[in-house]
């Protein structure tokens, strides 16, 4: 199924005969528990609650949610809860992992643990999927949550991960813009412009397969054909980008929060690069965005 809207993610995820189990570490968080119960009601996932079960039950009662049919594991400690979530995935008791009331770094540390974690398939990176508010088409943004200041090689892997997600969603020949503050190389003042230029050269040499990769490119040129024309910037990606690759986590996180806070857009985001898609919702995400993130994780997990 080609995904052309965020609603398609929910419809696709809810078609399974049995909802995949989602291990939540830790479950004692009202924002996360509310979204998980919405996903459960929609047939997207079956939550497995890991954490302080007394607190989880109190929160569920306040929300008016019935969790009596769900499996619960009482582990109030952060590290014990994330280790249990990873163990459940490793042993087939859960198909997905979601961050609850723990830090992203604590969860990813357990996932990457060399002895008891989940072997990575490259580097981990966060991919956001959203609908362009002007055209309505799906777009991807990376990385807003995991890689703080990626070097050239990490940016290449971040792009590879985003391309995999785009193709899985049905974008056969994705157009990726490697973002910077300008479309010209300005080194050493702006090192990201040189990285973007080198990645674009790799794209032209076929490193990324059937994809158009351009950079450095300012955001307006990536999104607006009119802006690109006014600057006489001619490129197959200009005004038609499917993927936005940001220079670092700061710019990625600011852009992400502009989407969901300033523009009020719903977004779906997961951490990819491991054999398990990991849902790491932001507290500022709407309940629907959290639901969409779970649906995206289900969609990716069932098509690997």
Q: Give the domain CATH number at 130.
A: 3.40.718.10
Residues 6+ apart with CB under 8 A from 258: none
* Whether residues 18 and 81 fall in one domain: yes
Q: What is the pLDDT of residue 185?
A: 95
* Whether residues 100 and 233 fall in one domain: no
Q: Which two tokens stand for residue 224?
A: 């607006």
User: C-alpha distances in angstroms, 52 versus 56, 67, 74, 122, 303?
Assistant: 6, 14, 5, 33, 33
Whether the CB-CB separation of 150 and 159 falls below 8 Å is answered with no
* Whether residues 175 and 100 fall in one domain: no
* Whether residues 34 and 7 fall in one domain: yes
pLDDT per residue as tens, the chain (304 positions): 679 999 999 999 887 678 999 999 999 889 899 999 999 999 999 999 999 999 999 999 999 999 999 999 999 999 999 999 999 999 999 999 999 999 999 999 999 999 999 988 889 999 999 999 999 999 999 999 999 999 999 999 999 999 999 999 999 999 999 999 999 999 999 999 999 999 999 999 999 999 999 999 999 999 999 999 999 998 999 999 999 999 999 999 999 999 999 999 999 999 999 988 899 988 778 889 999 999 999 999 988 6
Nearest-angstrom CA–CA distance, 175 and 135: 15
* Whether residues 154 and 263 fall in one domain: yes
* Whether residues 129 and 262 fall in one domain: yes
Q: What is the pLDDT of residue 1?
A: 65
Domain count, the chain: 2
Instruction: Domain of residue 254: give its range.
Output: 122-271
* Whether residues 101 and 31 fall in one domain: yes
* Whether residues 112 and 138 fall in one domain: no
Q: What is the pLDDT of residue 302?
A: 86
* Whether residues 285 and 243 fall in one domain: no
Q: Are strands 175-179 and 212-217 parallel, antiparallel or unpaired?
A: parallel
* Whether residues 259 and 142 fall in one domain: yes
Nearest-angstrom CA–CA distance, 174 and 208: 10
Instruction: Find where tokens 């499917």 sit.
Output: 242
**Cα–Cα–Cα angle for 160, 165, 166, nearest 5°?**
95
* Whether residues 161 and 233 fall in one domain: yes
* Whether residues 256 and 137 fall in one domain: yes
Q: What is the pLDDT of residue 15?
A: 76
Write the CATH number for 63.
3.40.50.10950
């Amino acid at each position: 199924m080609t995904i052309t809207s965020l609603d398609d993610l929910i419809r696709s995820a809810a078609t399974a005969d049995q909802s995949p189990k989602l291990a939540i570490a830790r479950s004692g968080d009202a924002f996360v528990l509310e979204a998980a119960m919405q996903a459960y009601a929609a047939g997207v996932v079956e939550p497995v609650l890991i954490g302080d079960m007394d607190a989880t039950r109190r929160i569920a009662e306040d929300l008016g949610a019935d969790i009596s049919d769900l499996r619960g594991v009482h582990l109030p400690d952060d590290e014990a809860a994330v280790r249990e979530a990873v163990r459940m995935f490793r042993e087939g008791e859960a198909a997905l992992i979601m961050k609850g009331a723990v830090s992203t770094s604590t969860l990813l540390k357990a996932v990457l643990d060399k002895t008891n974690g989940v072997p990575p398939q490259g580097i981990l990176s966060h991919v956001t999927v959203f609908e362009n508010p002007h055209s309505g088409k799906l777009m991807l943004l990376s990385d807003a949550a995991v890689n703080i200041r990626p070097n050239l090689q990490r940016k290449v892997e971040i792009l590879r991960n985003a391309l995999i997600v785009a193709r899985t969603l049905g974008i056969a020949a994705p157009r990726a813009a490697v973002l910077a503050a300008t479309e010209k190389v300005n080194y050493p003042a702006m090192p990201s412009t040189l990285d973007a230029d080198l990645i674009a050269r790799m794209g032209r040499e076929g490193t990324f397969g059937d994809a158009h990769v351009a950079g450095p490119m300012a955001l307006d040129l990536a999104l607006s054909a009119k802006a690109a024309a006014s600057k006489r910037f001619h490129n197959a990606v200009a005004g038609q980008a499917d993927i936005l690759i940001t220079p670092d986590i700061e710019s990625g996180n600011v852009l992400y929060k502009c989407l969901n806070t300033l523009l009020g857009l719903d977004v779906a985001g997961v951490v990819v690069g491991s054999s398990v898609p990991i849902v790491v919702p932001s507290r500022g995400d709407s309940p629907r965005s959290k639901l969409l993130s779970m649906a995206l994780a289900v969609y990716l997990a069932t098509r690997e």
